[in-house]
A = this chain, B = another copy of it.
Amino acid sequence: MSGVSEFEQRVAELIEAGRTLYRLGMVPATSGNLSARLTDGCLAITVSGRHKGRLTADDIMLIDAAGHSLDGRRPSAETGLHLQIYRRFPDAGAVLHPHSVNATLLSRGRRAPLVLTDYELLKAFPGVDTHAFALTVPVFANCQDIPALAAEVDDWMMRHQGPVHGYLIGGHGFYTWGATVDDALRHVEAFEFLFDCELRTGGMSRL
């Protein structure tokens, strides 16, 4: 791929990730958002309001590490949540925010964190090598004030002892990340599978 810039490579990966997420029913009706970090710290991120299952190069823009648009277009409304993850996790190269039915149902009205354990698929996450691992997935109340929500997430992560690989927002889906877009997609698949198991095991009253 001579002559293809790093930005163009990330754009291609994000377009493909969006198609995959859409096929899995996880980005309906323009919901969700996707980003990837470049070597210089800038981010390729989906433009606000585009359908994530049918992205084209026009639907992905460049912003700097502080979230400022570098081409005049409006980035995702939830850009602040992506920035929080990139600041806290230096190795994060991609952030994906799907909006699945399972994640919406599991998180709606819930405050207590989910604790996922006794699943072989937990080994899909970095650093987990046994099904007996207990992975905590915090749930944050939905909020239209993104800076406030990002601060709440960051505060929880700072105080939490133990790994975190994703979090839920009430009635709104989940955020996960990875070193590459591919890794982040693997984490999306794993979380969605585990959310499905949890919903079907515990009854709908998972409060």
Contact = CB atoms under 8 A, between A and B. Distances in A.
Contacts of A203: 205, 207
B118 A99 contact: no
A180 interface: no
B201 A29 contact: no
Contacts of A30: 124, 186
The complex is assembled from copies of this chain, and their number is 4
A29 B118 contact: no
Q: Which 7 A-B pairs have the closest CB atoms?
A: A120-B172, A29-B124, A29-B190, A29-B189, A28-B189, A204-B207, A29-B186
Given A104-B120, A104-B121, 4 more contacts: A28-B121, A101-B197, A130-B144, A200-B204
Contacts of A171: 118-120, 131
Interface string A85-101: 00000000000000101
A38 interface: no
A75 interface: no
A32 B199 CA distance: 22
24 contacts: A28-B121, A28-B189, A29-B189, A30-B186, A31-B121, A101-B197, A104-B119, A104-B193, A105-B197, A105-B201, A108-B119, A108-B197, A118-B170, A118-B171, A119-B171, A120-B171, A120-B172, A120-B173, A130-B144, A131-B172, A200-B206, A203-B207, A204-B207, A206-B206
Interface string A66-91: 00000000000000000000000000
B118 A108 contact: yes
Given A206-B200, A207-B203, A101 B131 contact: no
Contacts of A51: 186
Contacts of A136: none
A33 to B, nearest CB: 12
A122 to B, nearest CB: 9
